[in-house]
Amino acid sequence: MTRVSNVAHSPLPEIFQSWFAARGWQPRAHQLELLDNASQGRSTLLVAPTGAGKTLAGFLPSLVDLSSLTPNALKKRGLHTLYISPLKALAVDIARNLETPVSEMGLPFTIETRTGDTPAHKRARQAERPPHILLTTPEQLALLLAHRHASQLFADLKTVILDELHALVTSKRGDLLALDLARLHRLSPSLVTIGLSATVREPIDLQRYLVPQLKNQAHQSELVCVTGGAQAKIGILKSAKRLPLAGHTALASMPEIYKAITAHHMTLVFVNTRMQAEFVFQELWKLNDASLPIALHHGSLDVGQRRKVEAAMVSGTLRAIVCTATLDLGIDWGDVDLVINVGAPKGASRLMQRIGRSNHRFDEPSQALLVPANRFEALECQAALGAVEAAAQDTPDARIGALDVLAQHILGMACADGFNTDELYDEICTAAPYATLTREDFDRTLDFAATGGYSLRAYEHFAKIRQGRDGIWRIATPRAAQHYRMNIGTIVESTMLKVRLGRMTKAGTPQRGGRVLGEVEDYFAEGLVLGDTFIFAGEVLRFEGLIGNEVIVTRAAKGIDPKIPAYAGGKFPLSTFLAERVRAMLAYEKEWKILPPEVREWLEWQKEKSALPKKGELLVESFPSGDRFYLALYPFEGRLAHQTLGVLLTKRLERARMKPLGFVCNDYGICVWALCDLGEAMRNNSLSLDDLLHEDMLGDDLEEWLSDSSIMKRAFRYCAVISGLIERRHPGQEKSGRQVTVSTDLVYDVLRRHEPDHILLKAARADAASGLLDLKRLGDMLKRIRGHVVFKALEKVSPLSVAVLLEIGRESVYGEAAEDLLADAERSLLEEAIG
C-alpha cells in the first residue's frame, strides 16, 4: 500500500482513474509528481530501483496530454513524444507494454517504433507523417535530426523520455545523445525532458544532462526519488569446499548453487563474462540430476537462440538461466525469485541493478546470493554487502564530451538545415558533457570535419562542408551526406566471426555444413591453433580452421576437457568504491570473523609471513622463486590501472638494468619478475621504491610507451571511424584480397610523425587515458601512497602473492614485445635449418 505524499496532486483524468481502478492499482506518488512537473513545463529526473513503475510514470504525462486533444487536433498533430532507450529490444518491449493501456483505454493516438531493423519505406514514412509517440534509439534520433526537414518534424515536440539514462550517459553514445538533445531543445523551446534512471551516486549529473546548460550557470531538472520498497535480502553462499586462492570458475560452489536453484521457482545466475557463463552452464548440467530446464544466454549466442531463451523465461518454463550483462537492462522478466551473482560483483551499483531484477514487485524484498570464486573475491563480496546495506553507489564521474563525436555531430547538423558557427557553438555548449568546450577546440573540430583539420591546407578543394556567402555551413556534396548517414553512431564493433559447425573431409580439411552457433571476437579466433578445444554455446568444440570469415568447429570427443581456460578477466575492473572497502576490511581484523575460515586463515598467514596493508598504505613485497626475482604490489585499483602500472614499472626496471621479464596482474595486485635480485637491489640502495613509484612515470615514460602501443592505435582507430575520417566496415563489404581501405595504424603513424598535436590524436589520447588505462585512478593512487609504502623483503612467495601469481597462464602475461615473438619465429627457422 503506497502512501500518497502530502503534496496535493491534480487528479488524473477520469479515463485514467477508471483504468487504474479496473486493475486494482493506485497511482503512485512519484507518478503523480512527475505528471505535475511535466504539466508545468518542468523537466524531471526520476530515480527509482527497478520495479517501481518507472515506465508508466515516464509516459503518463504524454498519455494524459494527448488524451485531452480533440480528434481533429489529434489528426493535425505531428510528433508529440519521443522515447529513447539504449536497446532496440527495449524500445520494442516498451511499445508492447504501452499499447496495452492505450488500447484498453481506447485512446486514439499512434505509437510506433523506429530502430535499425525498421524497413526503409516505413522509416521514410515516419519522417514525413510521424506517429504521435515514437520509440527509438539514439542513433535513429541522430539520423532524424540530420534530415533537411528536421526542424519541421520536431517543431511541436512536447516531451522526450530518456530511459535507462544512467546507462546511456557513461559512454560516447551519451555524448552524441546530449548533442542531439541540445538540438531538440532549440527546435522546440518548450520541450520537457523526463529521465528515467536507476539509483546513482550523483543524480545532479543526470539532472544537468536533461536540460540546456547556460554559460556560467549550471541548470538542472527537478528530481523525484522513489524511496522505500523492501530492502534486498542478500547473502553470501557458503560452500562446503574450501575456496581456492585464485581462479574465477567458482567450481567449489557449484553444488550449493544447484541446490539453491532447486529450492526456488526461477533463478538468474549472473556471471561477469561469456566464458564464465559457458563454464557455469556446463558444470550445472553435470549436477542436474533432476533434469531441471536450465538455459544459457549471452551476447555471442545466435540471435535465434537468445530469443528462444527469452520467450521461455517469460512463459515461465525455465528454472534457471545462466547469463551475462546482456540480460541486464530494464526488461521485465517473469517471476524470478532469486538472483545469484557468481564471482565478485565488481561494483555495488551493478550488484544493485542485478538484484533489482528479481521478484519484480516493488514492495516485496528481492533475494540475492553472492558466490565468491576465490579468497580475494570473498573479501570483495563481503565489502559489496556492506555497500549495499549503506545504499552507497559507485557511479563513474560525469563524462567530458568526446571530440570525435562532436565532429560526427557537426557533419549531421550541416546535413540538416546548415548552421551558423557562433550559434552552433552556443548550442553545443548547452549540452552538459560539452559545457566546458573551448571555442578553440570547437573551431579545430569544425575544421577537421570540413577538411581533415591539417595545418597543411591541402584539402580546401575537397571539403565535406562549406560555408556559403550567407555565412551558413552546409554539407558540400550528396556523397558526403551519404557517407555521414552510413557512418552514424558511436559503437565501433570489433569484428565478430561466426562460429559454425562443420565436418572434416577425408583429406582432413574442414568444411562448412552445420549451423551457426554464435559469434566470437576476431582476437579470440586469432589466438586459436588447429585442435584447440574451447567451450561455446554450451558444448566443448574443437577448432578445425577458418574458412573465409567463419570459425569452423566440430564437437570435441566426449570427455575431452577444453584446452582454452575460462577467460578470467571480465570487462569491468574493481570499482574505486569497492576497492576502498576491501582495503578497509583487510586492515581491520575484527571484520574477519564474518569471512569463511579458509579466507581468515589465509589472511592470518599473510600477517604472519609478511604484513597486511593498512588503509592508506601500499604493501610491496620482494621474494625469489625459481630462478627469478619478484616484486609484488597490492594497490587494489583494478586491472586496468594495474596493467598501466605494470608496463611503466617494467620500463623503469629496464632503465635501472634490473632485466625485467614480464608481469601479471589482476584487480587486486601486480607481480613483476626480473633476472636481477630486486630485493638485494633495494637493500643496497641501487633501486629505490620511491623513485620506482614516482608519479613522474605518468609523464615521459607514459607518453613514450603510449604513442607506440596498441592501446593508442586502437583508440585512434575508434576515433577515426566515429569522426568520419575512415569509413565503417559494413557487412557485405568483405575485404577482397587487396586492400580496400587504408589501415588506421598507417594513418596514425604518419599523423604522429608530421602533426603530433592534431585534434584526432588529442581525442584518441583522451580515450586511452580514461577508458583503457585508468590514468586518473593510477595517478590518484601514486599521490596517495607517497610516503606510505610498506616494504617487506621475503625469502619466499607470500600467501597474498600466490593468488596473483596463479593468474599466470590465465591472463596474458605482459612484457613480450612483438619483436620477441618475431625473434622466436626466426630462431625456430634456424633450428630447423641447422638440425
Which one of 100, 825, 834, 835 is in contact with other proteins (CB under 8 A)? 825
> Greatest CA separation found in the chain?
93
Residue 226 · residue 48 · CB < 8 Å: yes
Task: Pick the closest to residue 248 from 347, 384, 376 (CA basis).
Answer: 376
Closest approach, Cβ 727 to other proteins, in A, equals 8
Classify the phi-psi angles of 216: left when phi > 0, otherwise alpha if psi is within -120 to 50, otherwise beta.
Answer: left
Q: Which residues, 529 to 558, sit near other proteins by CB under 8 A?
A: 529, 546
Q: Is residue 659 a contact point for other proteins (CB under 8 A)?
A: no
215-218 LR contacts (CB < 8 Å, sep 24+): 215/429, 218/435
Q: State the nearest-atom distance from the C-beta of 666 to other proteins, in Å.
A: 17
Residue in 116, 124, 317, 459 binding other proteins, rule: CB under 8 A: 459
Please state, in angstroms and rounded to a whole number, the distance separating the CA atoms of residues 707 and 695: 19
For position 834 contacting other proteins by CB under 8 A, the verdict is no
Is the Cβ of residue 84 or residue 726 nearer to other proteins in the bound state?
726
**Out of 7, 240, 818, 834, which residue is the one contacting other proteins (CB under 8 A)?**
818
Which part of the chain contacts other proteins (CB under 8 A), choosing from 98-106, 334-342, 525-533, 619-627?
Answer: 525-533
C-beta of 454 vs 592, nearer to other proteins: 454
State which residue, 149 or 735, has the beta carbon closest to other proteins: 735
Q: Kindly tell me which residue out of 333, 749, 790, 808 binds other proteins, with binding defined by CB under 8 A.
A: 749
Write the CA distances from 443 to 127, 437, 440, 446, 450, integer angstroms: 31, 10, 5, 5, 11
When the beta carbons of 317 and 741 are compared against other proteins, the nearer one is 741
Residue 760 grid coordinates:
584526432
- Least spacing, CB of residue 756 vs other proteins, in Å: 11
Radius of gyration for the alpha carbons in the chain, expressed in angstroms and rounded: 28
CB-nearer residue toward other proteins: 608 or 826: 826
Residue of 316, 462, 491, 691 interacting with other proteins (CB under 8 A):
462
Instruction: In angstroms, give the least distance from the CB of 275 to other proteins.
Output: 14
Examine residue 828 and tell whether it contacts other proteins (CB under 8 A): yes
DSSP state of 339: E
3-state secondary structure of 631: strand
Phi-psi region of 166 (alpha: psi -120 to 50; beta: other; left: phi over 0): alpha
DSSP 80-131: -EEEE-S-HHHHHHHHHHHHHHHHHTT----EEEE-TTS-HHHHHHHHHS--
Q: Could you say which of 732, 737, 787, 835 contacts other proteins (CB under 8 A)?
A: 737
- Binding of residue 755 to other proteins (CB under 8 A): yes
Residue with Cβ nearer other proteins (50 or 723): 723
Rounded CA-CA distance 784/114 in Å is 49
Binder to other proteins among 515, 819, 834, 835 (CB under 8 A)? Answer: 819
Nearer to other proteins, 411 or 574 (CB): 411
Position among 456, 507, 557, 834 found at the interface with other proteins (CB under 8 A): 456
507 burial class (0-12, 13-18, 19+ CB within 10 angstroms)?
exposed
Q: Does the protein bind other proteins through residue 296 (CB under 8 A)?
A: no
> Per CB under 8 A, which region of 38-46, 270-278, 409-417, 478-486 contacts other proteins?
478-486
CA dist 212 and 179 (Å) reads: 10
Q: Between residues 360 and 810, which has the closer beta carbon with respect to other proteins? A: 810
Rounded to a whole number of angstroms, the minimum distance from the CB of residue 59 to other proteins is 42
Q: Does residue 756 belong to the site contacting other proteins (CB under 8 A)? A: no
- In sign, the C-alpha dihedral spanning 245, 248, 251, 257 is positive
* C-beta closer to other proteins: residue 453 or 489: 453
Task: Give CA–CA dist 260/369, Å, rounded.
Answer: 9
- Distance between the two ends of the chain, CA-based, in angstroms? 84
Identify which of 340, 341, 348 has the alpha carbon closest to the alpha carbon of residue 389: 348
- One-letter amino acid at 521 equals E
Closest separation in Å from C-beta 335 to other proteins: 42
Using CB under 8 A as the binding rule, whether residue 460 contacts other proteins is answered as no
Q: How far is Cα 706 from Cα 715, in angstroms, rounded to an integer?
A: 11
Q: Segment contacting other proteins (CB under 8 A): 178-186, 395-403, 616-624, 746-754? A: 746-754
Among 458, 486, 491, 560, binds other proteins (CB under 8 A): 458
Q: Which is nearer to other proteins, 677 or 727 (CB)?
A: 727
Other CB atoms within 10 Å distance of the CB of residue 676: 17
479 to 498: interface string for other proteins, x by CB under 8 A: xx--x---------------
Nearest to other proteins of 14, 819 (CB atom): 819
Choices 329-337, 421-429, 775-783, 817-825; region in contact with other proteins by CB under 8 A:
817-825
Q: Which residues contact 431 (CB under 8 A, 6 or more apart)?
A: 178, 179, 181, 182, 212, 213, 401
Least distance CB 553 / other proteins (angstroms): 17
- In terms of Cβ atoms closer than 10 Å to its own Cβ (0-12, 13-18, 19+), residue 335 is middle
Distance CA 249, CA 272 (A): 11
* Cβ pair 318, 265 in contact under 8 A: no
Is residue 826 at the binding interface for other proteins, with CB under 8 A as the rule?
Answer: yes
Q: Residue numbers of the site for other proteins (CB under 8 A)?
A: 451-452, 454, 456, 458-459, 462, 464, 479-480, 483, 526-527, 529, 546, 725-727, 735, 737-739, 742-743, 746-747, 749-751, 753-755, 758, 812, 816, 818-819, 821-829, 832
